Each structure stands twice: as structure tokens, then as C-alpha cells.
Amino acid sequence: MLAPNATKTYPAINSFIATFRDWVRHRKLIRQCRQRLEACDTNEIAHIARDVGLSPSDLRHMAELGPDAAQQLLDRMAALHLDADALAKREPGTMRDMQRLCSSCASKKRCQLDLMLVPNDPAWRHYCPNAGTLDAVQSEATTVR
């Protein structure tokens, strides 16, 4: 028997609502990135792109993808026990290239699922465009230790 003030919960509906809320939040972030970039003139965009080592068209493309487009890279590096911040300081060009590749990767959903379910399974090396670089960074980190 249910208590008189018990509230019935619906996990599937709650999950859908949470997913939808996250999607809306993500779309809002992307829109904000795009608006901030659109507020800049051509010279400012060229200057920003040069500062971060991208072409203006690559910068626009990255803004369209949103601020967390390379999150899987950070998650993969964590799974490999690699320090993303240290790499970004030591080799900013390498980190930027890896972020760019991750951001535009066609296997993002598969990668995200693999990271959630079996992060240590080497299957990711078959589809990840950063596999070779990550292996090299990991090998270098092991040599330093």
C-alpha cells in the first residue's frame, strides 16, 4: 500500500526530460559561441584564429561544434592516465590538433559509449583519429617515468 503522500516516479520520463534538458543546454552553448564569434569583425576573427593556431574557417567550424566538442579526448586521456593540462602546456600544438580531430570525428557516439562501458578496451584504436598520437604521448609518458 502506498503512503498517502507518496509521489509516483517515472524513470523513463525523468530520463527523457534530463536528456532533453542537456540537449537544450548544449544547443544554447553552441548558439552563444556562434553569436560571440559573429560579433567579431573579420580582422578580429583572423587574429583569434592565429592566436589559437587555426585558420578562420576552422575557428568558425569549432565554434559551431560548441565548447565541449572534444570532451571525448579528455575522457580518453583520463582513461589512459594522461594529463591533458600538462600536455597542453608542454605541446600546445599537439593538443590543439588532437582537439580539432576529436571535435570533427565521425565516431563520437561510439567513442562515448566505449568510454562509458569499457574504457580499457583497445577497440577505440581502430576508429579514433588520435589513436597514434595518444599512443605516442602514452609511450613518452611511460619513458619519462
Q: What are 104's three cell numbers? A: 570533427
Query: CA 70, CA 67: separation in Å to the nearest integer?
Result: 8
Give me the phi and psi of 73, to 5 degrees please.
-60, -45
- C-alpha closest to that of 60 among 36, 77, 84, 80: 36
Which of the 8 DSSP states describes residue 80?
T
- Residues 6 or more apart whose CB falls under 8 angstroms from that of 110 comprise 127
Tens of each residue's pLDDT in the chain, 145 residues: 555 666 677 788 888 788 888 888 878 887 887 888 888 899 998 998 888 778 888 888 877 777 788 999 999 999 999 999 999 999 998 998 999 899 889 999 999 999 999 998 999 999 999 999 999 999 988 776 6
